Amino acid sequence: MGGSKSIKYVLNIIPPLGLAYLAAVLEKNGFEVKIIDCTIEISFKEISKTIVYEKPHIIGITSTTASFESAKFVVKRIKEFLPRIIIVIGGAHVSAMPYETMESNYFDIGVLGEGEETFLELVQHIARDGISDLGAIKGLIFKENGKFAITPKREFIKNLDGIPYPARHLLPPLSRYKPTPASYRRLPLGIMITSRGCPHQCTFCDRAVFGNIYRQRSTDNVLNETEELIHKYGAKEIRFFDDCFTLDKDRAYKICEGFKERRLKVPWTCLTTVSSITKDLLKEMKSAGCWQVLFGLESADKGMLTLLRKGNTLEQNINAVTWAKQAGLSVRADFIVGTPGETEESLKKTLGFAMRMKLDYAHFNKFVPYPGTELYRSLIGEGYNFAFGKGCSITDNTAFLYTPLTLNKSYYMNFINYAHKKFYLRPEYILKRLFSIRSWNELQGQIRGFLSIALLKKKELYKPNLSEL
């Protein structure tokens, strides 16, 4: 969160399903595994004690671009007391920037793309032959004869039902996690991913891990895991973290039917796109227990939507929000501000749209040119150079990696805090939120959310004239 200290009240601290999937695959194949979730176990002293006590042969670390500096810090400290330990890095950052990641010399091996099959094969190889002769394993980067070598890309996993459910028994209890207040009504919240791969071509999104080929789990496989989350792990609400939960509308209908047939009477939410929903589907989701949908609306400016290549038009955005509201669903929306070509006028349009459409929650996320995205490659081609340290998290509104030439930097840096305050601190909005609360957990979360906005640093150096819109 960088210098945005008030963001601590709304940080989305949820179980690391990626690590849990890897652990489940390794356990299934006879390996002893332990997970340390560093978002929960925040004391490095305790983390180091655990590692020294366990004396693992291999340590795997997952990292996004925003958390890469933290990953390097952890590895550096680990190497101080276990200098010969094998360190493997996986996740979005190394998949998008393999050579740059490994040139830091903190990691021995990098796993590129989906990790389940690659990491299992790697661990089996190390158990048998050590870290030599890794060339036959697809999806790796490592140093060989003083130079980095990348093996052929591994094919995406086609049968997602063949992957065991995440090893949640190796994670802290769900009650220790704190999802962002806008995303739940009841706690503990259980999260699931029921598909992989996104066919959309958004210019701001990196698809290096799961790719563009859409793959999905069967309805029964999804519902069985839902029951496990509820009955074994105590989840009182479910959130589906698929990039587009309703891309296959027939499957979405079947999942809704399954919730009813199995009497899974827990509230649930999902992420989806405006181009993959209909009025009837939204009504069916509501009747099956869904209470909120999250749309990536991104912008209310037609030019910006074209640049972002989200695949949605302004008209589709309006229709989707309207239909969801008519179905009785809460609507949460993500917007990206500060992409190349952004202007004061387009920013005003986006904020005005969010308020006019009476969204329940709106997030105005600063644009970060993450590696692996089309916009990143375009900006690099224009001569930009990005050091992904300070300011590379979208939740840090005190430092910016990129400001479009079409915007005044001061105006842009102040817009995000201003937009959140303008949207959330309206008296009518606060009253609406209070009357919509359905549980004690939700009330506590809403108070946290209010504090995060109210305590934002006051930098209102301008006031957009919304009456112009």
- Residue 11 domain-assigned? no
- Residue 203 domain-assigned? yes
1 burial (CB, 10 Å; 0-12 / 13-18 / 19+) is middle
- Helix 440-454, helix 427-436: angle, nearest 10: 160
| Cα–Cα distance for residue pair 351/362, rounded to 1 Å | 9
Q: What is the CATH number of the domain that holds 80?
A: 3.40.50.280
Considering the domain architecture, whether residues 365 and 248 belong to the same structural domain is answered as: yes
Q: For 95-99, 385-389, 462-466, which range has the lowest pLDDT when averaged over its residues?
A: 462-466
Cβ-Cβ contacts under 8 Å for 278 (sequence gap 6 or more): 249, 323
In this prediction the pTM is 0.91
Mean pLDDT of 276-282: 97
Considering the domain architecture, whether residues 238 and 104 belong to the same structural domain is answered as: no
Considering the domain architecture, whether residues 119 and 192 belong to the same structural domain is answered as: no
- Residue 8 domain-assigned? no
Considering the domain architecture, whether residues 101 and 213 belong to the same structural domain is answered as: no
The dihedral region occupied by 367, where left means phi > 0, alpha psi between -120 and 50, and beta the remainder, is: beta
- Tell me the two tokens of residue 171: 């994670």
**Does residue 3 surpass a pLDDT of 60?**
no
* 298 strand-pairing partners: 335
Residue of 465, 448, 391, 451 whose CA lies nearest to 421? 451
- Helix 440-454, helix 409-424: angle, nearest 10: 150
**Does residue 458 surpass a pLDDT of 60?**
no
Helix (H) or strand (E) holding 365: strand 361-366
Considering the domain architecture, whether residues 223 and 342 belong to the same structural domain is answered as: yes
**Does residue 452 surpass a pLDDT of 80?**
no
Q: For 201-210, 335-344, 450-459, which range has the lowest pLDDT when averaged over its residues?
A: 450-459
**Does residue 383 surpass a pLDDT of 70?**
yes
Binning pLDDT at 50, 70 and 90, where does residue 468 land? very low
pLDDT score, position 459:
45
pLDDT score, position 42:
65
- Residue 160 domain-assigned? no
Considering the domain architecture, whether residues 336 and 430 belong to the same structural domain is answered as: yes
Considering the domain architecture, whether residues 119 and 209 belong to the same structural domain is answered as: no
Q: What is the mean pLDDT of the chain?
A: 91
Considering the domain architecture, whether residues 446 and 352 belong to the same structural domain is answered as: yes
**Does residue 121 surpass a pLDDT of 90?**
yes
**Does residue 312 surpass a pLDDT of 50?**
yes
- Residue 105 domain-assigned? yes
- Residue 161 domain-assigned? no
Find out whether the peptide bond into 188 is cis, omega within 30 degrees of 0.
yes
pLDDT score, position 277:
95
Considering the domain architecture, whether residues 119 and 211 belong to the same structural domain is answered as: no
CB 361 within 8 A of CB 269: no
pLDDT tens digits for range 85-120:
999 999 999 999 999 999 988 999 999 999 999 999
Q: Which domain holds residue 119?
A: 17-150
Residue of 221, 224, 201 whose CA lies nearest to 211? 201
- Residue 137 domain-assigned? yes
Binning pLDDT at 50, 70 and 90, where does residue 7 land? low
pLDDT score, position 443:
79
Binning pLDDT at 50, 70 and 90, where does residue 154 land? very high
pLDDT: is 145 or 186 the higher one?
A: 186
CB 284 within 8 A of CB 253: yes
Considering the domain architecture, whether residues 132 and 222 belong to the same structural domain is answered as: no
- Residue 5 domain-assigned? no
**Does residue 466 surpass a pLDDT of 70?**
no
**Does residue 391 surpass a pLDDT of 80?**
no
- Tell me the two tokens of residue 461: 């150096």
| Cα–Cα distance for residue pair 404/11, rounded to 1 Å | 27
User: What percent of the chain has a predicted confidence (pLDDT) above 70?
Assistant: 94
How many domains are there within the chain?
2
Distance of CA 343 to the CA centre of its chain: 27
pLDDT score, position 462:
42
Mean pLDDT of 342-348: 96
Q: How far is CA 2 from CA 41, 95, 411, 427, 442, in A?
A: 19, 24, 20, 30, 27
Last residue of a domain, one of 150, 179, 197: 150
pLDDT tens digits for range 199-251:
999 999 998 899 989 999 999 999 999 999 999 999 999 999 999 999 999 99
Considering the domain architecture, whether residues 133 and 189 belong to the same structural domain is answered as: no
Mean pLDDT of 370-392: 91
- For residue 246, what is the DSSP state? T
Q: How far is CA 271 from CA 69, 172, 194, 223, 246, in A?
A: 29, 25, 11, 17, 8
| 82 backbone dihedrals φ, ψ, rounded to 5° | -135, 70
Mean pLDDT of 248-264: 97
CB 341 within 8 A of CB 406: yes
Q: How far is CA 137 from CA 56, 100, 122, 247, 256, in A?
A: 22, 21, 7, 33, 40
pLDDT score, position 457:
62
Mean pLDDT of 346-350: 96
Considering the domain architecture, whether residues 219 and 132 belong to the same structural domain is answered as: no
Q: What is the CATH number of the domain that holds 291?
A: 3.80.30.20
| 291 backbone dihedrals φ, ψ, rounded to 5° | -120, -15
Last residue of a domain, one of 120, 150, 180: 150
- Tokens 């980095």 belong to which residue? 148
| Cα–Cα distance for residue pair 414/425, rounded to 1 Å | 16
- Tell me the two tokens of residue 2: 């960088």
Binning pLDDT at 50, 70 and 90, where does residue 445 land? confident
